[in-house]
A and B are shown apart, each in its own frame.
Chain A
C-alpha cells in the first residue's frame, strides 16, 4: 500500500545517505558517488555455509571467513578481447615492417596489407578500451601524464603511437619525395612500436596483486607475444594473398603457434610452484578455456604440417589458430579473476616466501615469524581440544561434521 511508504524512505531512495537534502547540501568527499540501485545480494552470500566454527581462524591456513583478500579485477570481456586485438595489431605491424625492410620490392604488397591490419587493429583496440572506460574523453585522460611505473600508462602511449604511425605509413608510404620517405619511416616505427604493443598487456596484468598473474610474470609476456604472432598470422591467412606472401604468413604464424604452446607450458610450470596458484588453470571454466586454447593451437599447427594443400584445410587452420590465440587471453583473464577471489591464493604464496620476500630477500612475515607452516601464534590455542568448547560442540551436533575449510573454486 502506498500509505506504507514513509517520507524518510523516499528520501533514502533519492540519495541513499539518509540525509534530507532540503536541510543541507551534499558536499562531502564521497557525495559525488551516486546511489546504488536496488540492494544487491551481498557478494559474500555464497559463503553463507561457512560457519564461524569452521571459518578457519584457528585452522592452519586461516582466512577471514573465506572472504577474498584482494579485489577481483573489475574489467569485463572487452579487456581480454583487447589483449587479442592489440596483440594482432602489434604483431601485424612488426611483420609489415620486416617485409618492408627485408622483403625487397616483391613483398611491398604484404607490408601494405600488414599495415592495414595493424591500423584497423589499433582503431578497434581504442574502441574496446573506450567501451570499458565508458566515455571517449576518458581515453584522452590516459594521455594526461606519462608514468613509467604504470604499464597501463606506457601501453596507452604505445597504442596511440602505433596507431598514429600505422596510419601515417598507410597515407604516405609509396608516395614520391620526402612524404614517401616519412611514410616508410613511419612503417618502421610502427613495427618497432608493435613489439611492445603485443607484449605490454602481459606486463600490465603481471604487474598486479592478482596472485596467478603476478606469479607467472616471467612467462606471461612470452605467451602473449607468441600468441600475438599466431593470431596475426592466422587472421591474415584468411585474406587472399599471392603464393609467396602466403608462405611468409604461414611460417610466421607457425612459429607463433609453436611459441604459444611452449610458453603455455612455461606459464603452467611457473604457476605450479603452489597448488593453489595453478588450480584456476586446471579446474573450472578457466581451466576448460585454457585446455581448449591449447587444443585449438595444436590442431591448427597439425593442419599446417599435414600433407595436402586443400582450401578447407587452410581455412580451418587459420580459424583454429585465431581461436587458440583468443581463448588463451580469455583463459588467462578468467584464471586471474578466480585466483583473486580465493583468499588462500593470496595468502599461501606469501607464506611460502613468494610475497615481498621474493624480491627483497626479507624472509620474515610482518608478524616477525618465518614463512613456514605451522606457524604457532597462540600457543594455548593449539593445545586446546575442540570438545572443550561448548558452542562449537553444539554447532557440531547441529550441523554435522566439518567439511574441508579450503574453498574450492
Chain B
C-alpha cells in the first residue's frame, strides 16, 4: 500500500478554509460553535476532536518577496494544520488499549470503538493534535480519510484545496516534490523557505512526519514546536529513576522493620 501522507505547502495557502469544510463534511463532524478568536481571521483556533484541519492565519508586519502588498511592510502566512501522522507517534505509543493503530497506509488511526477515553494520548502528542471530546469522552483526530484511502480516493481536504497547498500522495514522492519546491522558492528570493518534519534527519524526535510542511518562518509562528520529541524517547530516564526509588523504598521498609524490632526489644 505504501506510505501515504500530506505535503502542505503553506506558501500556496490562501486561507479559504475549503479543507476545513471538506473535512467536516466528509467525516460528518459536528460544528465548533461559530466563533472568531478575535485575534485574526482564524475562527477555529486549533486542532481538536471535531476540528481535524485547522487553518492558521498569521499576520506579520514583515514584507514577503512572494506577496504583493502594495509596498506595505506586511504579509500573511496561512497554513493548514493537520495531524502529522508521525513515524513515531506519541499518541500511538501511549495508548494503553491499542485503540490507536498504524494502518496499511502508514497513517495513524484511532479506532473509536476501542478507545476508552483515558485521555493519555492527549498529553502524549507533542503537537497538541488529538483531543478528547467532553461529551463523548473519547479521543478523535484526523484519520487521513482512512475510509477514502481504502477506495483509492484522495483525502477530502487535499481534494478540496484549490491551490494545491495540500498535496496528497506517496511520502517518498512528496518529499522529492517538496525539496524541488524549496529550491524553486529560494530562487525566487524566498530564502526563508524550509521543510518542517520531512524525514527523520529533519525531525529526529518524531522520526519524520507523514504529513509535513513547507514553512517560511519559525515553526512557533505557526504554533508548531521547534524540536518536538515523542515522550517515550525520554521515558527511559523516568523508569530508571523509578527503579532507584523502588530500591530505596524497599531498603527503607526493611530498615524500618528491623530498627523497630531492635527498639522494641
Binding site for B on A (CB under 8 A): 12, 15-19, 26-37, 39-40, 42-45, 47-48, 50-53, 55, 57-58, 61-65, 67-71, 73-75, 91, 94-95, 97-99, 101-104, 106-107, 132-135, 138-139, 141-142, 144-145, 147, 149-153, 156, 195-196, 198-200, 202-210, 214, 217-222, 224-226, 228-229, 243-245, 247-249, 251-252, 255-256, 259, 340, 343, 346-347, 350-351, 353, 355-360, 362, 365-368, 371, 375, 377-381, 384, 386, 388-392
Query: Are B202 and A141 in contact, with the CB atoms below 8 A?
Result: no
The complex places the Cα of A133 from the Cα of B217 at a distance, in Å, of: 40
Q: Specify which chain A residues have a CB less than 8 angstroms from the CB of B52 in the assembled complex.
A: 30
A251 B233 Cβ-Cβ under 8 A: no
Interface contact A206-B235, CB-CB below 8 Å: yes
Distance in Å from the Cβ of A231 to the closest Cβ of chain B?
12
Interface segment, one of B10-18, B58-66, B157-165, B166-174:
B58-66
Chain B contact surface mostly = loop
Give the docked Cα–Cα distance between A94 and B40 (Å). 56
Contact partner of A52 (CB less than 8 A), chosen from B40, B50, B227, B231, is B40
Q: Which of B80-99 contact A (CB under 8 A)?
A: 90, 93-98
What's the least CB distance linking B56 to chain A, in Å? Answer: 6
Q: Once the chains are docked, how many angstroms separate the CA of A350 from the CA of B33?
A: 33
Task: Assess the B260–A245 pair: CB atoms within 8 A.
Answer: yes
A29 touching B28, Cβ below 8 Å: yes
Report how many residues on chain B are interfacial, defined by Cβ distance under 8 Å: 120
Known: A225-B245, A225-B246, A247-B263. A366 touches B203 (CB 8 A): yes
Most buried by A among B40, B61, B129, B244: B61
CB of B68 within 8 A of chain A? no
Q: What residues of B have a CB within 8 angstroms of the CB of A141 in the complex?
A: 97, 114, 116
**Once the chains are docked, how many angstroms separate the CA of A73 from the CA of B61?**
34
Residues of A near B263 (CB, < 8 A) are 244, 247
Nearest CB of chain A from residue B68's CB, rounded to whole Å: 15
Chain B positions near chain A (C-beta within 8 angstroms) = 24, 26-40, 42, 45-46, 49-50, 52, 56, 58-63, 72-74, 90, 93-98, 112, 114, 116-120, 122-137, 140, 143, 145-147, 191-192, 194, 196-197, 202-206, 215-229, 231-235, 237-239, 241-242, 244-246, 248-250, 252-261, 263-264
Q: Given contacts A34-B30, A222-B245, are A156 and B96 in contact (CB under 8 A)?
A: yes
Can you list 25 residue pairs at the A/B interface with Cβ under 8 Å? A29-B143, A30-B30, A42-B33, A57-B221, A61-B220, A62-B217, A62-B218, A69-B225, A70-B128, A70-B225, A75-B119, A94-B250, A102-B254, A135-B116, A196-B246, A218-B238, A218-B241, A221-B245, A229-B253, A251-B260, A365-B226, A366-B226, A371-B226, A389-B74, A391-B72
Q: B129 — which chain A residues lie within 8 A by C-beta?
A: 71
